[in-house]
Amino acid sequence: MQIVLCLLMGYLVGNINPAYILSKIKGFDIREKGTGNAGASNVTVVMGKKAGLFTALFDIFKAFAVCTIAGRLFPDIGCPKIIAGVSCIMGHIFPAAMKFHGGKGLACLTGMVLSFNPVIFLSLLLFEAVFGLTLDYICVVAPSASVIFTVVYALYTKDFTGTLMLATTAVIIVLKHIGNFRRIRRGEETHISFLWKKQE
C-alpha cells in the first residue's frame, strides 16, 4: 500500500504543469506553439525567459518536494525517492490531466537527483552544463543526464529495483527527444545561445 501511495503521490504532483497553466492564462495552449512541448525550453522560446525560468524552477521544485516527502513518509519501502521521482517524471511526461501529452522530464529529473544526493546533483549539473554549452543544445542534457544518473545510481546503491525504474525512465526520455535530434540534423533546433540574445 505504501508503494502504491508513493507512486500515486508522485504521478499526481507530476500532473501539475506550469507551462500549460501559464499558456492557458495567456489564452493559448503551449502544446500548439513552438516545438509543442509543455516544458521550460519551449516556454522560453514562446513566452520569454522569465516564464521559462519560472517553469523550470517550478518543475524542479515539484519533483524535489515530492521525492523528499516520500523519503520521509515511506522510508521502509526501499527506494521511496526514486519511486516518487520516476512517478513524478511519468506524470509530467504523460499527464492524465492533459490527455497524456506533457513535457519531456528534464526539470523533474533534476529535482529527483537533487533530492537523492546533492553532491551527485552538483557533479552532474557541472558535467551537463559543459556538455550542453559545448554542443549548444539543451535537448542533449535530459537524455544524457538520465542515462548517467541511472549508471551512477546503480554503482552507488546496488539497488536493482531503483536502477530498473531509472533505466526504463531513461529510455522513455531518450525516445521523447528523438524529434529534437531530428531537428538538429535539419538545423532547426533552438540553440542554448538563444538565451544570451535580447528578447522582449
Half-sphere exposure at residue 144, Cβ-oriented, CA atoms within 13 angstroms: 16
Span 64-87, mean pLDDT?
95
> With bands split at pLDDT 50, 70 and 90, how would you rate the model's confidence at 197?
low
- Using one digit for the tens of pLDDT, what is the confidence trace for 14-55? 999 999 999 999 999 999 998 889 999 899 989 999 999 999
Span 157-169, mean pLDDT?
96
Q: Which of 71 and 200 is assigned the larger pLDDT?
A: 71
> With bands split at pLDDT 50, 70 and 90, how would you rate the model's confidence at 200?
very low
- Kindly report the CA angle at 132 between 19 and 197, in degrees rounded to 5? 65
Nearest to 174 by CA among 195, 155, 149, 156: 149
- Using one digit for the tens of pLDDT, what is the confidence trace for 94-116? 999 999 999 999 999 999 999 99
**pLDDT value at residue 35:** 84
Start-to-end Cα distance in the chain? 49
DSSP conformational letter for 159: -
162: pLDDT strictly greater than 50: yes
Q: Which of 41 and 199 is assigned the larger pLDDT?
A: 41
**pLDDT value at residue 196:** 67
Span 56-81, mean pLDDT?
95
41, 33 in Cβ contact below 8 A?
Answer: no
105, 176 in Cβ contact below 8 A?
Answer: yes
76: pLDDT strictly greater than 60: yes
The span from the CA of 93 to the CA of 74, in Å, is 24
Q: Where are the domains of the chain?
A: 2-196
The span from the CA of 96 to the CA of 63, in Å, is 17
**pLDDT value at residue 192:** 82
